[in-house]
Structure 1
């Protein structure tokens, strides 16, 4: 890294709106969520349209759009801030009277409020770099974190900027995605100029130009090994030291701490001392009540089909495993437990997680259903889970955790407590084949 870049970064002052308004707008968003019960959609957890214009006006860069029915994606600054709120776990989706609400976690908020402005800025930057993934906001079409695209597309941004007068320049916007352009602006990496939108169109950017601070930050990242935070590997067992009676303690740094170490090794940002702390996961004891449903497409006539939802409500004690829950689902739908299965869900940060059948061949760090107790499964009331059984026939069930009731010593195993509809045949063609 050049001395001029290092000098520029060492002289940078961080406040709620310097080098730009990322901290200011992040906290404005938090305040709005504290004042309102903000509803989000069930599947994608996107903010309901009725709140978007109000949030937009509270931000330092209100987005100009001309949509009759705007969605969260229509407001790139809101979309980008939402990504940081969820991936930092400060905002979480919770069920409230059958509605999904985006709520601020008070314990994590307290940790946030104890940080100084420099620490807030860099914790948000680390969140964007290491945790932000579009899968938090919708069905991901890209496998890598958002930052990989930001970091690699930066080199295509010339010093004089892009004017978006050609299809080539517009392609840069399309590949980077507008919420990442908005975040680059909020973090002070680029200056963005926009103009009035065309009729029926969204945010209309006319120019994006790299700022000296943003260029220096990218030089800094290129000169450090920040990427090791992307691929944390556990230390190998230090058998030789242990054989000599040495008590070896291996401490793992978080990705945020790795970024902090890399920057401060160059004597930069010394005011960054503390980081956002997430609480340790807590066990949840009691009787878990799940509603498990499957949609069936039934042929009424040659050209006419109807859709029917069949469901089972299952109560199961928390000391049993996720594998036991899988078995209970299959029993409730009169299926034989003769194939592999998988549960897929979103954790409190919105990341997609999976738990696999013990015989599934996956990477070494895969989590298996016979190893996870229900009490330790980090899901919340109202969470939606996808359960797939038999990867050949692909039976896909929708699972919702409806409640966690008080422990009941009388309930020692899973049982169906309510149901609707006739279960589908697991092998509907077998009877026909026997009759031939």
Structure 2
């Protein structure tokens, strides 16, 4: 039977005016979330340090032998998974994997034939944090750095604040039935979370609420990425944290991927934004959210508004944010076509991704303009995309995105796809970043090797298709 969460020990220090008791879970079902999340995440990153973990070619997920081993180590099991199941059949491991990747505690190292996980020194930095700091660091990774669309095909970012607000009005310890809904609140929550699936459990694993499994519907639906709940019960931790996540750390201002998907050239966490998901708020709260979103909070640490809810001295540090707003310098890219040709291109960080596109075309002798996209996660047709100015797909406009705002790292690779009919595909590798050379320069081709592809074939009038 799946464990249910209870509060972290430090939460006894949380001050609030709620008089309703926290729901009591029968002893045989007791878990200890988010305590278990912290423990399990440390087990996960320890395993990554101790093993060379090969990744699958298609999705770059962990291979099966590591999934089986981790499933035995962690507190949340995947009872339906077999030795032949892929990573998505282990939803807890899948969640921890994305936290570790998004927080750059592990990186995906790629070579010509394979990919594997490489642990970083941020693991040691994480381990030096206090218990409370580890919790807030994981929350920050999930809330700020994780692209939620890599975790689900749903759009929970469009409805999460409404659910938070609705549950907060009800208060902790009061189960809200959603299958079947027995109140207007239950009906609203059901209609807003019908395709959330494991996102319901992500928030449970962070200790914000408790879900009662809808076993019948889970068995009937029987899909590895599907989860259904009969009821949701707000916790004391959720009561303290949810208002902060709605207002002071709203997803609109703080989630990097969300801001990029809204085509904001200044997407730095906490920067002002005019994008408000406020249909769930009354006029007073809408104005309050608008005030927060109009102020530049980008110089504040994410955990700052949470400090009063933790014991004194328990929450002072976090994982350093590696990404600067502008990572100035001179960037050298190696742009490879298959294995037979490459071009080495040099740019000032103030150049745009459209400038990179233009020089790639020039260096390979392409002439006509077609649509293009950069897929920054290296996965063709992913949502992590910077595209042609004014394309019909509403991608982030490459002409507005400066190279020095992307937080690129030496060795990082991404895809450039040009002409969606022909799908000319190039690998772009960040070969060097010289932070000392910040003077403006015209982009140029430093070196090249091999013949590139012919953009068009020449046909004589007498040529025929065979």
TM-score (norm 2): 0.61
Q: Which residue of 2 aligns with 1:386?
A: 416
Alignment match of 2:321 (pick from 278, 285, 288): 278
CA shift digits 1:165-199 (9 cap, x unpaired): 89x99988751222541551353631556989969
1:363-390 per-residue CA deviation (whole Å, 9 max, x = no partner) reads 9x965389537x987155362313335x
- Give the number of the structure whose residues are more often strand, by fraction: 1
1:257 aligns with 2:301: yes
RMSD: 5.2
Correspondence for 2:134 = 120
- Structure 2 vs 1, CA of residues 151 and 425 (structure 1 numbering), >3 Å: closer, same or farther? farther
CA distance in 2, matches of 1:35, 1:216: 38
For residues 235-250 of structure 1, the aligned pairs below 5 Å read none
* Total equivalences in the alignment: 377
Contact 1:315 1:415 in 2 (8 A): yes
Q: Does 1:185 find its partner at 2:214?
A: no
**Structure 2: runs of 5 or more not aligned:** 1-14, 23-30, 182-186, 254-269, 274-294, 435-442
From 329, 336, 344, give the equivalent of 2:367.
Answer: 336
Stretches of structure 1 lacking an aligned partner (at least 5 in a row): 9-15, 236-250, 294-309
**1:118/1:272 contact within 8 Å kept:** yes
Per-residue CA deviations over 1:376-425 (Å, capped at 9, x if unaligned) read 87155362313335xxx655332224673899xxx9625541247x5242
- TM-score when normalising by structure 1: 0.65
The residue number in structure 2 matching 1:352 is 384
Q: Judging changes above 3 Å, is the alpha-carbon distance between structure 1 residues 332 and 412 closer, same or farther for their aligned structure 2 residues?
A: closer
Indicate which of 252, 260, 265 corresponds to 1:230. 252
Distance 2:241 2:355 in 1: 49
- Structure of greater Rg: 1
8 Å CA contact retained: 1:21, 1:186: no
Q: Is the 8 A contact 1:65 1:201 kept in 2?
A: no
Q: CA distance change for structure 1 residues 17 and 198 in 2, over 3 Å: closer, same or farther?
A: closer
How far apart are the structure 1 equivalents of 2:331 and 2:146?
33
Q: Do 2:417 and 2:423's aligned partners in 1 also have CA atoms closer than 8 Å?
A: yes
Matched, 1:397 2:424: yes
Q: How does 1:305-384 map to 2 (within 5 A)?
A: 312-317=341-346, 323=354, 325-331=356-362, 334-338=365-369, 341-346=372-377, 352-354=384-386, 368=399, 371-372=402-403, 378-381=408-411, 383-384=413-414
Structure-2 separation of matches of 1:382 and 1:405 = 10
User: 1:21 and 2:12 equivalent?
Assistant: no
State the 1:131 CA deviation: 3.5
Contact map agreement 2:164 2:242 (CA 8 A) in 1: no
Taking the TM superposition and a 5 Å limit, the aligned residue runs for 1:56-135 are 56-67=71-82, 69-96=84-111, 98-106=113-121, 108-135=122-149
RCO higher in structure (CA 8 A, sep ≥6): 1
**1:77-121 Cα deviation digits (max 9, x unpaired):** 112222322222222222256422222221x22332232101111
Say if 1:86 and 1:136 are closer, same or farther in 2 by CA, change over 3 A: farther
Q: What is the rounded CA distance, in whole Å, between the counterparts of 1:379 and 1:79 in structure 2? A: 24
